Amino acid sequence: MPSIELPAPDAPVLARRNEIVRDLQSLIGAQAVIADDDGRRAFETDALTAYRRMPLAVVLPSTTEEVAKVLKYCKANGIKVVARGAGTSLSGGALPSEDAIVIGVSKMNKVLEIDYENRFARVEAGITNLAISEAVGRGGFFYAPDPSSQIACTLAGNIAMNSGGAHCLKYGVTVNNVLGVKIVLIDGEIVEIGGPFLEPEGYDLLALIVGSEGQFGIVTEATVRILRAAEGARPMMIGFESSAKAGMCVARIIGSGIIPVAIEFMDRPAIKVCEEFAKAGYPLDVEALLIIEVEGSEEEISDRLAYISSIAEELSPQAIVVSSSPAQSARIWKGRKAAFGAVGRISDYYCMDGTIPLTHLPHVLEKISEICARHGLKVANIFHAGDGNLHPLVMYDANKPGETDKAEEAGAEILKLCVSVGGCLTGEHGVGIEKRDLMRVQFSDTDLAVQLRIKAIFDPDWLLNTGKVFPLDAVAAAMERRATELQRAAGTAAAA
């Protein structure tokens, strides 16, 4: 059994289920409310499939106003809410609870405005990540963050988790590419923050909302920065006999003054699995493979790839392959982007997401092998090398008693290792429920209290995405502290 504790559902709310469903139906129409068992089951988990909970009900609003009505109702009735985009969270960010209503934004997926001259697009937040780039592609533009799940994941989910992707080495992550949001607060108030300007006004509320894991409100629209695509792009592959050499190569490339668009790393097990799946032409006799992509005109690309090759040559690589056609480039990326799915075909796996300072790479990879071996588990390593974001895929068999626990234990050890070398628990997947209980590895109680006070500004009753991001006891302590402070303030006011 998976071991993360989920809060017990609120019995009085469960008892009122029929009444709540009726209320929701009258608020936004029966067709937008899913209450039957089969319908709800489709929403009982996300991409962290080891955890499942049937939600109280699911609503799929079509407008911001409908979202506002539902939230206002939930606030008034003390009902918990879990916001959901496409349900691709790997950290359990969209996992429901039995006493919570899931608000799915997937119906709100329209492009509202594209402005190439001012370089922004305004979209509804349920649009998929890839659909934004497709919509602006006609004008030669793109939306930069490109998580591997971009075909399915929504911008709303990207905003909640501050998602990255392979190409964020050059273009940044979600927070660097969102200029404004329309967010519905838990009391139903609709607030516009930011807009088609490059600078926030007043406090940077947007920076706080991006990455708040659905705990501040529900974002229904966003203004995103769109960028003109480069004239061309081409990847190359460099294979090494050790991950230490691959790591050294990355450091030397960046140290030399070149920032490629992407530098991806795969170890031998990952290369094998991805090659079998995608037939990308990856060299199979190497311990570590780098996929490096650069952009520009034909001549600029050749120049830069030649320069990178010359850096790599000093480290005696076992293979250097420069893509020679768009078809080959597509295959190289297909293999990398399908990595999770490819591993999923051969095994259950637990996908980790720690980030480390690059200099510690060889040491960390060695330790990861040790940790997994000690738990009797195999591991494949895939990661965004340019920015130190590791994705060890810890493989296990969910049908073998105890293996899931072992995978979780190995995963926790890996994340603690990342923090101990100066890194962090999660680079782009978010904390969710998965890393909730590890937060104290990275943060002091005060650090957590500072964050929890911000949560209280947006959602003092803790109705939005409860039970996630923070250790449960830290939340309980914060709520108690807040109650005392409020009491004291009320006392002072009365005395005055």
Q: Are 190 and 203 in contact (CB under 8 A)?
A: no
Residue 14's SS3 state is helix
The correct pick among 64, 133, 442, 466 for binding other proteins (CB under 8 A) is 442
Alpha-helix residue ranges (DSSP H) falling in 204-242 = 205-209
The correct pick among 4, 6, 424, 477 for binding other proteins (CB under 8 A) is 424
The correct pick among 36, 189, 285, 366 for binding other proteins (CB under 8 A) is 189
Nearer to other proteins among residue 31 and residue 446 (C-beta): 446
Return the bridge partners of 322, or none.
236
461-480 residues in contact with other proteins (CB under 8 A) are: 469-470
Return the bridge partners of 104, or none.
84
Stretch in the footprint of other proteins (CB under 8 A) among 27-35, 194-202, 314-322, 337-345: 194-202
Tell the residue number behind the tokens 């303030």, with chain if given: 489
Beta carbons within 8 Å of 398's beta carbon, 6+ residues apart: 50, 348, 404
Stretch in the footprint of other proteins (CB under 8 A) among 103-111, 145-153, 256-264, 320-328: 256-264
Nearer to other proteins among residue 115 and residue 276 (C-beta): 115
Stretch in the footprint of other proteins (CB under 8 A) among 23-31, 280-288, 399-407, 421-429: 421-429
115-134 residues in contact with other proteins (CB under 8 A) are: 115-120
Stretch in the footprint of other proteins (CB under 8 A) among 1-9, 280-288, 374-382, 455-463: 455-463
For residue 46, the one-letter residue type is D
- Calculate the CA 436 to chain-centre distance: 15
**Strands 389-396 and 378-384, sheet pairing:** antiparallel
Name the helix (H) or strand (E) containing 141.
strand 141-142
Sheet (strand 378-384) strand order: 319-322, 233-240, 288-295, 262-267, 378-384, 389-396, 348-351
Query: Of 75, 88, 78, 387, which Cα lies nearest the Cα of 250?
Result: 387
CA atoms within 13 A on the CB side of 106: 14
Nearer to other proteins among residue 12 and residue 257 (C-beta): 257
Nearer to other proteins among residue 277 and residue 383 (C-beta): 383
Nearer to other proteins among residue 88 and residue 404 (C-beta): 88
CB atoms within 10 A of CB 495: 6
Nearer to other proteins among residue 73 and residue 142 (C-beta): 142
Beta carbons within 8 Å of 447's beta carbon, 6+ residues apart: none
The correct pick among 2, 9, 137, 172 for binding other proteins (CB under 8 A) is 172
The correct pick among 456, 472, 477, 479 for binding other proteins (CB under 8 A) is 456
Query: For other proteins, how many residues bind (rule: CB under 8 A)?
Result: 92
Least distance (Å) between residue 62 CB and other proteins:
23
210-229 residues in contact with other proteins (CB under 8 A) are: 210-212, 228-229
Nearer to other proteins among residue 187 and residue 405 (C-beta): 187
Stretch in the footprint of other proteins (CB under 8 A) among 25-33, 47-55, 235-243, 442-450: 442-450
Stretch in the footprint of other proteins (CB under 8 A) among 96-104, 284-292, 363-371, 440-448: 440-448
> CA 347 to CA 406: how far, in whole Å?
15
Tell the residue number behind the tokens 């939930």, with chain if given: 74
- Quick note: the x/- pattern for other proteins over 15-54, rule CB under 8 A, is ----------------------------------------
For residue 253, the one-letter residue type is I
Nearer to other proteins among residue 55 and residue 145 (C-beta): 145
Q: Are 335 and 282 in contact (CB under 8 A)?
A: yes
289 belongs to the binding site for other proteins (CB under 8 A): no
111 belongs to the binding site for other proteins (CB under 8 A): no
Least distance (Å) between residue 204 CB and other proteins:
5
Least distance (Å) between residue 303 CB and other proteins:
6
The correct pick among 300, 397, 403, 409 for binding other proteins (CB under 8 A) is 300
The correct pick among 96, 104, 164, 239 for binding other proteins (CB under 8 A) is 164
Task: Give the tokens for residue 382.
Answer: 């895939």
Q: Are 96 and 82 in contact (CB under 8 A)?
A: yes
The correct pick among 87, 147, 235, 430 for binding other proteins (CB under 8 A) is 430
330-389 residues in contact with other proteins (CB under 8 A) are: 355-359, 384, 387-389
Q: Are 354 and 427 in contact (CB under 8 A)?
A: yes
Beta carbons within 8 Å of 425's beta carbon, 6+ residues apart: 353, 354, 415, 418, 419, 431, 435, 438, 439, 441, 442
As to burial, measured by CB atoms within 10 angstroms (0-12 exposed, 13-18 middle, 19+ buried), residue 52 is middle
63-102 residues in contact with other proteins (CB under 8 A) are: none
258 belongs to the binding site for other proteins (CB under 8 A): yes
Stretch in the footprint of other proteins (CB under 8 A) among 125-133, 234-242, 283-291, 294-302: 294-302
Query: Of 5, 61, 348, which Cα lies nearest the Cα of 190?
Result: 61
